[in-house]
A and B are shown apart, each in its own frame.
Chain A
Amino acid sequence: MTTIVEGRHLTREFPMPAGPVVALRDVSIEINPGAYVAVTGPSGCGKSTLLHLLGCVDAPTDGSLLFEGRDVARLTDSERSRIRLTRIGFVFQRFFLMPMLSAWENVELPQAEIGIRPADRRARTRELLEYVDLIDRGHHRPSQLSGGEMQRVAIARALANRPALLLADEPTGELDEDTGEQVADLFDRVHADGTAIVVVTHNPVLATRAERRLMMKRGTVVHS
């Protein structure tokens, strides 16, 4: 079983006028296929920074990151984009759906980008919207959906290209308790279907669903 992503001694500093801020300090982490990891901790402890490094949208100042055995630091920007497109799914706190596209088109978008044939795209989009129970809202734009519905569309979009790893940054942060629980249920199903999940959250309900919890403080993992 190949490790999906492996970070060793990850450190991430942000240069600031008053001096560099260390957001992540010497963190090592390994995500295997089918894992379900929750990262918790107070605001500013480095959870999102860790998630961004694992998702190849940011680069560590120090340490190394291997994605499916490939050293991310040696990859070009377009190679990293390709990994994100085909192997990683992102779910954001604020959904970040394309406002000018319908729910259906938002789910189709990543599939079109890797050149999946229209007929296959339609079948996969239908499957995903049924999966998140929004098939009857496919033609609605994000502005016509509730927060929970938008997040479910975002999860469907993240799963569109059958990623090995789903990364979620505070996916219930904008949702009420009941809706957050629906999203947590959905993550359980995604995990049960074999997709590895790393979720950054303040939501204890969501965190308890994970198989493994990482507690972070001041840029380091203090409890696993």
Chain B
Amino acid sequence: MTSRALAWRTVAASPARALLAVAGVAVIGALLFDMLLLSHGLLISFRDLLDSAGYDVRVIASDDPPAARIPITHADALIADISRLPEVQEIAAVRWDRALAIVSGRPAEGVTLISATVGAERKAWRIINGENLVAAGGTREPPPLVVSMRFAEALGLKVGSALGMRTTMFGAASAIPPVMFRVVGVAEFDFEPPGDLMAATTIDAFRRVHAGRGQDNADVVVIASRPPFGPDDAVTAINHLRPDLHAYSNAQLVTHFDQNGFAYFRQISFVLSSVTLGFAFLLIATLLTMSVNQRLSEMAALRALGFPRRRIVATLLWESTMLVGVGGLLALPLGGLLAFELDHILRAMPGIPERLHFFVLEPRAVVLHVGLLAATGLGAAAYPIWVAARLPIAATLRRETVS
């Protein structure tokens, strides 16, 4: 009988103990798996979100990307200058601001109004119903407006509906009169936070809402680098052209956020992963040590019958592998389910874009989960294995017989 078969028979002989061990490892493993998903999930999701927009460089006025509310002035000239760089293939200016949406018979709703250079809109939002700004005739009156699904549902809007937009100053409606819009499309916005409503219009209409205030401004200028140049080459060229501004590639932005905004999650994840691994270690070590202590007479008898130490060690290692292996495998779907629920809760926080996730399933996390659990299982099995391997045969047999 192989060590594996002997271990299996031992595990199967105590189903309650085995189930308890597997359940414990599965629950702890699920928490560990979630912490691993959390440690990089936000970054992966953020990177995907940036990449999905189709631009790999962003230019902002402030060195602090999250704020990014210091506008870039003379944006038209900047776009003209940058678009002449050989490293740049495509460029667009994006503006956004808070506004009040006014629909007759309903209270005014605060919304985020954005606009982008013609052509960029196809990357910033996806039309689900109706048409996009240019197709709808960006110069026709009243100006076109694409609204998010949530916006449409909240204000009972559909393609063809009319509504007014008024800019806000410090959270209150400004004295500037509202501009009337017609809804031409309903779209999905990548960066729409769950608690917010979003709408997009043309640059001209956006300027009209602001009555010419900050006419030639942009909140961010987005750039697609030209192959074979990469984003790093484009960033270098832009920083050389306009050292007063700040250009970041997507990778740099991710790194920047990783070191600042997201470090919090990574640290939490690291601490909780360590605690979880500690619990896993204690659980496995306790269960195996108890199991070994209950079977000292069996092991001493096996040794007396001539079974070498390595056989006892191998049997215990298999036993540990079975309990940790099955528990670890069960931890994956359990952790996935838990991650889904936790992600749902965390994404309900205000200001989180719709497509940003805290828990992202990635092969690296699965490999790390398996590796960490395996190492923990081996480490935790070390003490009971040492006890079993160093068992004094005669003394144990004597003690077990007397007891």
What residues of chain A have their CB less than 8 Å away from a CB belonging to chain B? 48-49, 52, 55, 57-58, 77-78, 81-86, 88, 90, 92-94, 96, 98-101, 105, 108-110, 112-113, 157-158, 169-170
Query: Known contacts A57-B397, A82-B306; is A94 also within 8 Å of B13 by CB?
Result: no
**Distance of A96 Cα from B298 Cα, bound (Å):** 6
Tell me which residues from 348 to 403 in chain B have a Cβ below 8 Å from any Cβ of chain A.
Answer: 392-394, 397-398, 400-401
How large, as a class, is the contact surface on chain B? Answer: 20 to 34
List, sorted by A's number, 27 A–B pairs whose CB atoms are closer than 8 Å: A48-B394, A52-B393, A52-B397, A55-B304, A57-B303, A57-B393, A57-B394, A78-B308, A78-B310, A81-B303, A81-B306, A84-B304, A86-B306, A88-B306, A90-B304, A94-B400, A96-B301, A96-B397, A98-B9, A98-B302, A99-B13, A99-B298, A100-B12, A105-B1, A110-B306, A158-B305, A169-B397
How far, in angstroms, from A96 to B171 measured CA to CA in the complex?
81
Chain B interface secondary structure, helix, strand, loop or mixed?
A: helix
Select which of A49, A112, A157 is within 8 A of B394 by beta carbon: A49
Q: Which of B1, B301, B394, B398 has the most CB of A within 10 A?
A: B394
Minimum Cβ distance to chain A for residue B120 (Å): 69
CB closest residue in chain A, given B398: A48
**Quick one: closest A residue to B12, CB to CB?**
A100
Query: Does B307 sit within 8 A of A, measured CB to CB?
Result: yes
**Chain B residues within CB distance 8 Å of chain A:** 1, 9-10, 12-13, 297-298, 300-311, 392-394, 397-398, 400-401
Identify the closest chain B residue to A88 (Cβ).
B306
Q: Please indicate which of the listed interface residues B303, B309, B392, B397 has the most CB atoms of chain A within 10 Å of its own CB.
A: B397
Q: Can you list the 9 inter-chain pairs with the closest CB atoms, starting with the nearest?
A: A85-B306, A96-B301, A100-B13, A84-B306, A58-B394, A52-B394, A57-B393, A100-B9, A81-B308
| Residues from chain A with Cβ under 8 Å of B306 in the complex | 81-86, 88, 110, 113
Give the residue among A86, A94, A108 with the most B Cβ atoms within 10 A.
A94
Closest residue on chain A to residue B308 by CB atoms? A81
- Is there contact, CB below 8 Å, between A57 and B304? yes
Q: Which residue of B lies closest to A96 (CB)?
A: B301
Q: How far is the CB of A120 from chain B (nearest CB, A)?
A: 15
